[in-house]
Amino acid sequence: MSNQKVAIVSGGATLIGQKVAQALHRDGCKVVVCDINAKDGQAFINELGEDGLFVKTDITNDADIDNCIEQAISAFGGVDYLINVAATYLDNGLDSSRDDWMNALNTNVVGAGIFTKKVAPHIQKRGGGAVVFFGSIGGKIAQPGRMLYSVSKAALIGMTRNMALHLAPMKIRANSVSPGWVWSNPIRDFSGNDRGKADQVGGPLHMLDRIVDAEEVANTVAFLCSEKASGITGTDVAVDCGYMAMGPEQTTDKVSRLAE
C-alpha cells in the first residue's frame, strides 16, 4: 500500500479493531480509529505511534460520523478505506424488547450503512478504495441464545452485496469478513481472559481445533483493502478456522461453559 492511504476503523478500540488498525498501519496506512471508548482508543493510538488519530465517535449519531470524517480529512488529507468493526452485543434472544431491537440494529446495521454513505464521496475523490463490513458465522446459522446479533450480522452480509453494487461506479469495492469464534472482547470476558479455556471450549467446533486469532481477521481485512484484492467485491470471506465448512453447533451450552 502507498504511504498516502488513509483508513478509518470504527470500533477501533476493541481487540479486533486494534488488530485491524495495526495490520493496516503495518501496510503503510495512516489510521483513524473511532470508538465510543475514548480511554482505550486514545491509549491505543498513543502506542501505535505516527500516522494514527483517535476520534471519539458514536456511530448512531450522524454528527459524530461527520466529525470523524472531517477530522480524518483535516489530519491526513482524505480517506481511502472504511472498516466497519463497531458493534453491540446487546442480545436477549427471543426476549429482546423493541428498544433492544432498535438499539442493536441502529448500531450494527444502520451505523455501518450511514458511515459508508457519508464517507463514500470522499473515497471517490481519492480515485476509489474499499469498504469492509463485519459479518459473522452468527449471520449464517442459528446459534443458541442469540437473536439480535445474528439478525444484524445477516443484514450486514446482505448489505455488503448491495453496497458493492451501488459503490462500483465510484470505484469503491465492498466486502465483508465473517469470523468464527474469535479472541475478542466478548470471548475474553466470557472466558475470564483465559485463551486456553476458549480454545478448549470452542476448538471442537472449528476444523483447526482452536478459535480464530484476531490477527487472522485483521490480515484478511488488510488484504481486502489492498490492490491484491482488486478483483474482489460483493463477497463475504469466512475467517473461521473451518467452522462453517464443518457444520453447525451440536449443543446449546457451549457459550455458557466459557463462564464456568
Active site amino acids: 149
Beta bridge partners of 206: none
Rounded to whole angstroms, how far apart are CA atoms 81 and 78?
10
Rounded to whole angstroms, how far apart are CA atoms 40 and 218?
18
Rounded to whole angstroms, how far apart are CA atoms 106 and 104?
5
Return all residues near 6 (Cβ < 8 A) that are at least 6 apart: 29, 30, 31, 32, 72, 76, 77, 78, 79, 80, 81
Where do runs of H (alpha helix) occur along the chain?
A: 15-26, 38-48, 62-76, 98-105, 111-125, 148-167, 185-190, 195-202, 214-225, 243-246, 254-258
What cell numbers appear for 105 in the block? 440494529
Taking alpha carbons only, the member of 131, 209, 143 closest to residue 177 is: 131
Angle between helices 15-26 and 214-225 (to 10 degrees): 50
Return all residues near 14 (Cβ < 8 A) that are at least 6 apart: 35, 37, 85, 184, 185
Rounded to whole angstroms, how far apart are CA atoms 19 and 23?
6
Q: What is the per-residue DSSP string for 144-161?
A: TT-SHHHHHHHHHHHHHH
Strands 52-56 and 6-10: unpaired
